[in-house]
Amino acid sequence: MPRQVFSYDNPGRFVAGTVGQPGDRTFYLQASGGGRTTSVSLEKVQVQVLAERLEELLDTARRTAGAEVPVTVSRALEDTGPLDAPVEEEFRVGAMGLAWDAEASRVVIEALAQPEDEAQAEVEPLSDVEEGPAVLRVVLTAEMAQAFVRRAQRVVAAGRPPCPLCGLPLDPEGHICPRQNGHRR
């Protein structure tokens, strides 16, 4: 069966967002454009790492390729709205890949579905194989990528506050803190 590729070249919108309350949130990447929307779920840490690596990629492109990568994001690209509803998960992300297309001065982001078998597990991100896991492929301008990074950082930071003693997330009713020998904080 041929792999399903959800491809967006300069989408109208590409964001990280959540559904649910802090402590019980589901994280999504959502791309929209051309009258369609694709949502894929992933872990909070994957959103955090994607934002960090994307920021590093943009920094490297700025330094080595002389790419014009804005440090600030224009208000027109700042996206603070909720995810487009209804949020219907196409797949759960297993692996991701990033690339800088120097010729077009664009960022390429790929999110691959979790593999269903060993053959799919061997598929590398950013490869154009005909068989394999589903993939969300998004091509962004540097400024759109920078806007994605800023929003993703806000989404990750909007979770539960950390315990000042151990750093683990605090639930509204507190938590059992290892630094207090298992007593509630």
Domain tally for the chain? 1
Give the pTM: 0.85
pLDDT per residue as tens digits for the range 6-55 = 999 999 999 999 999 888 899 999 999 999 999 999 999 999 999 999 99
pLDDT per residue as tens digits for the range 160-183 = 778 888 877 777 777 788 888 766
Local structure of residue 172 (DSSP, 8 states): T
Q: Which domain holds residue 155?
A: 5-184
CB distance 14 to 140 below 8 Å: yes
pLDDT per residue as tens digits for the range 134-143 = 999 999 999 9
Distance, in Å, from the CA atom of 132 to the CA atom of 110, rounded to the nearest integer, reads 13
